Amino acid sequence: MVTDIKKSNNSKLKNIKYTFDKISSNNATDWQLALFWIVLFEISAVIFEYFFVKKSHIYIEYIPQSFYKEIFVASLVVPFVWLCVYNLIFINKSNLLYLGLYAVIGLYLVITQDVTFNLLLHNLNPLELDIGGSIYFTIQLIFKLVTTYLIFQLVIALRYKRV
């Protein structure tokens, strides 16, 4: 009976892993999908860190409101609108991924106001953890483990593509 429970749990874990691989990288065959999920998880981790860790604000260089900042924001919004219209006309999966990436990066810029991407670049290192024994450490560890696995899937997908 114990072996049946172990087999059942093992098959459930394999099913969860297979589903996660299918969603995240199409079983390590789609590098664009893996890159999308890496960026999504990293930006989610950065936004979480921005809200709950005061130390994260030292990496952000705030740019004061000015004409040049408005021009910069407008130069980002116009291509986003163009991509939305283009995607309505020619629906394509890779175009949807690019549109999603663009939207997630725009969301990052709106929330953190980090135009230099210093906080994002600081958080990209999968081995850097703020060990403190708190709930933040646990969530950060989960984000880092998932991102590291997705980077592994990206490398496999890129190797699969070149063969």
Tens-binned pLDDT, residue by residue, of the chain (163 aa):
556 666 666 788 888 888 888 888 888 888 888 888 888 888 888 888 888 877 778 888 777 788 887 888 888 888 888 888 888 888 777 678 888 888 888 888 888 888 788 888 888 776 676 666 678 778 888 888 888 899 999 999 898 776 4
What is the model's pLDDT at position 49? 84
CA distances (Å), origin 76, targets 87, 109, 110, 146, 161: 17, 10, 12, 29, 31
Domain ranges of the chain: 2-162
E strands along 9-155, which residues? none
What is the per-residue pLDDT for 1?
Answer: 55
Host H or E run for residue 140 = helix 135-162
What's the chain's Rg over C-alpha atoms?
19
Q: How far is CA 105 from CA 14, 76, 118, 140, in A?
A: 32, 10, 13, 20
Q: What is the pTM of this model?
A: 0.77
Nearest CA-CA partner of 111 in 72, 69, 147, 57: 57
pLDDT at 163: 47
Q: Identify the pLDDT of residue 112.
A: 86
